[in-house]
Amino acid sequence: MPRGDGTGPAGMGGGGGRGMGRKQGQGRGLMGGPFAAGPGGNCVCPKCGHTISHIVGQSCNQRDCPKCGTRMTRQ
């Protein structure tokens, strides 16, 4: 590109790059999905400490503590 207008000589590279390795969407990842913390376990209230059993398919942070109403977290 002698004048900076893109009219320079053609490149000689083969263009055989390998990309990023793993295709998007492959592998389990580090977190997330229905079995991120396992199917069993308990949900615990961070405020009062009350525990309830975890329901498969429902995140603990979608449930309210039956004693104080605070959102639960996974134990």
In the chain, what are the domain boundaries? 37-75
pLDDT of residue 40: 80
**Rounded distance between C-alpha atoms, residue 18 and residue 35, angstroms:** 32
**Backbone phi, then psi, for 12, in 5-degree steps?**
-110, 5
Per residue in 37-66, pLDDT (tens digit) is 567 899 999 999 999 999 999 999 999 999
Sign of the CA dihedral 46, 50, 51, 57?
negative
43 three-class SS: strand
Specify the pTM.
Answer: 0.49
Sign of the CA dihedral 29, 30, 32, 36?
positive
**Rounded distance between C-alpha atoms, residue 51 and residue 42, angstroms:** 6
